[in-house]
Chains A and B, each alone.
Chain A
Amino acid sequence: MDWMYFLELAVNGALAGLMYALVAIGIVLIYKSSSVPNLAQGALTMVGPYLVLAFAGQVGLSMWVAIPLAMLSMFVLGVAIERIALRRLAGQPIVMILMMTLGLDIFLRATALTFWGGSGRNMAIGISDAPLFVGPLLVNRAYAIGAAVTLVLFAISVFFFRTRMGVVLRAIADDYTASWSVGISVERGVALSWALSAVAATAAGVLWGSVQTVDQSLSLLLLKGITVGVLGGLDSIGGALLAGLLLGILENVASGYLDPLLGGGTRELVVAAVLILTIMVRPHGLFGRHDIERI
């Protein structure tokens, strides 16, 4: 067994996993505040970088103006989705809410492709392709920067949850009715969590877009985001971070060794297997609240 190879796979996997956590945080935020499983997070992750490219390419702004501008637009989009689509479905059976988020996913994806086309575009945010060696290990520079940005965003979110608005969000996540009765506007809190997760999706999309290209495949991050979310516990933001690390390492190492044996494409398989096993063995995830009903 080649330990260097193993370690390299593990390190790169861990860095990529942190970027999966960024997708998962969006799902967790919304689930925590409103118990809505957001299956449109993949589409949001795809629409974000398309918006950045639209601002940068078609309007001709600098990348560093375009990204905040896109985040602002995504903030508005998140609020709009909650206000128009999800609020009216409150209290309906969960299958309709799931279907609504799937419908949003299809609609957003198709809209982005209708306006901007399906061919892959480059997201140049100035990360060089030069190899980065940490000791003897070859690390993907884009992954490393992405992971660093994720950690910074996570730290910011920790501080955010200590502000007044963050406390409001925590209260809503903890108990819907109780926060309502003390005068917290639950609707606004839920809308804010949608907006924040749309912003997180933009960040994740821009980072992944700079690693690969910006095209339809960005929406496939949904499966990874969901797996990370479930593995960490759907209502635990810290859990998402750790689960991202775990899934990233597992996926990269397993596919590194299995791909030559099984003829490729095992990445998705490993992720799906982790999702199934998590649900079968420990449905509330590593850090989730244990109130899953089983019969």
Chain B
Amino acid sequence: MLYRRAGIFHTSYAHDRALFPIPFERRAMWALLAVALAAPWIFSSLALSSYIRPWLIWTSAVLGLNLVLGWAGQFHFGYAAIMGMGAYASVHAARNGIPWEIAVVLGGLTATGVGVVFAFAALRVKGLYLALSTLAMQFVMDWVISHVPAISGGVSATLQAPPMKLLGQAITSEVGTYYVVLAWTVAVTVFMLNLRRSALGRALVAVREKDYAAAVIGVQAFRYKLVAFAASAFIGGVSGAMLIFGFYHAVTPEQFAVNVSIEVLAMVIVGGLGSIIGSFFGTAFILLLPGQMNELISAIARAVGADIGVETLAHIPYMIYGASIIAVLLIEPMGLGKLYGNIRNYLMVWPFGYVRK
């Protein structure tokens, strides 16, 4: 209906390669961007700082993981370690007086270095064994981060992060931080959107589908696996830095422990492999749903008069988190992005359902 097109009339190559060939989607994108820019005036400051900002930051990280998992098809169970290295490097750099912009890029580059180490596993094995070895590397990185005083400042230490600074101007307001975060997320999203139609993106997809076949047609599987790990690590590192500067304001080792890796992975899978809009949905689903459900449950318990212990209440979000992963995988294994795709495909030809192939 909304998406309907009366035929395809491309008159130029540029038109054919457009990011959003369907007018409705193009307009929806501009509308969304306008809402995002006006968000400080639309939403309450609580919603902005405790829901929307973390959602944007995590989405950028999830897009980075999707690059390696959804596009290149390489398992990566140690993404939190990468984000952590980026965060620690940038915080250290910023504390030592390096300008904030350069500190964040340094964080990204450090993360890239660590990401390349993870890639060495990918050059040796694939599939399940790659998953397990990256998981083990995450454990090693956990240990390194928490036990090397030069990185974390000692076991269970907390490093305070200096405020964000753009061109020497400190950004301390909620709204200012939100815009910095939004800019980064939009940049990553635009990069990922364009990846789909670039040579690099097609090479990654070729490697994902069958690396032998990719090698046969002249795509160097090794090289592109390395590129995928490095690029996603850069995005992850900067996102980790954004997470610290823009949300937590202090960095501790457990912010990037193994369960965080699993959580980012869950966001990618629940959102849908290789789906950009799915990354946004998946992050919102995993990040925001358990808390909302928890409030709902405690509200119901209060209304009924049942007494739920504090400890029980603390574990319920994890139960919902696990159950929602299971539910999404059972209902739509390709994730929430695919659900959106189904609706889009349906509306594209509605009411002429038989047109669909």
Contacts and interface: CB of A to CB of B under 8 A. Distances in A.
Does B associate with A?
yes
Nearest to A234: B128
Interface stretch (B43-51, B137-145, B176-184): B137-145
B139 A272 contact: yes
A294 to B, nearest CB: 6
A102 B127 contact: no
Nearest to A274: B136
A137 to B, nearest CB: 30
A174 interface: no
Nearest to B211: A295
Contact of A279 (B133, B309, B315): B133
Given A294-B126, A295-B211, A110 B140 contact: no
Nearest to B321: A106
Contacts of A209: none
A104 B311 contact: no
Given A107-B326, A113-B315, A295-B211, A96 B121 contact: no
A108 interface: yes
Contacts of B312: 114, 117
Interface in A4-37: 37
A95 B75 contact: yes
B124 A279 contact: yes
A84 B326 CA distance: 10
Interface string A273-284: 101100110010
A117 B266 contact: no
B125 interface: yes
B126 A295 contact: yes
Interface in B304-339: 309, 311-312, 315-319, 321-323, 325-326, 329-330, 333
A95 B140 contact: no
Interface residues of B, number: 46
A269 interface: yes
A106, A226, A294: residue with the most chain B Cβ atoms closer than 10 Å: A106
B136 A275 contact: yes
A103 B133 contact: no
Interface string A92-131: 1111101110111111111101100110000000000000
B266 A102 contact: yes
Contacts of B235: none
Interface string A255-295: 00000001101101101110110011001000000001111
B269 A295 contact: no
Interface of B: 69, 75, 121, 124-129, 131-133, 136-137, 139-140, 142-143, 146-147, 155, 211-212, 215, 221, 262, 265-266, 269, 273, 309, 311-312, 315-319, 321-323, 325-326, 329-330, 333
Interface of A: 37, 84-85, 88-89, 92-96, 98-100, 102-111, 113-114, 117-118, 223, 226-227, 230, 262-263, 265-266, 268-269, 271-273, 275-276, 279-280, 283, 292-295
9 contacts: A89-B333, A100-B325, A107-B323, A118-B315, A223-B139, A268-B143, A269-B140, A273-B136, A294-B126
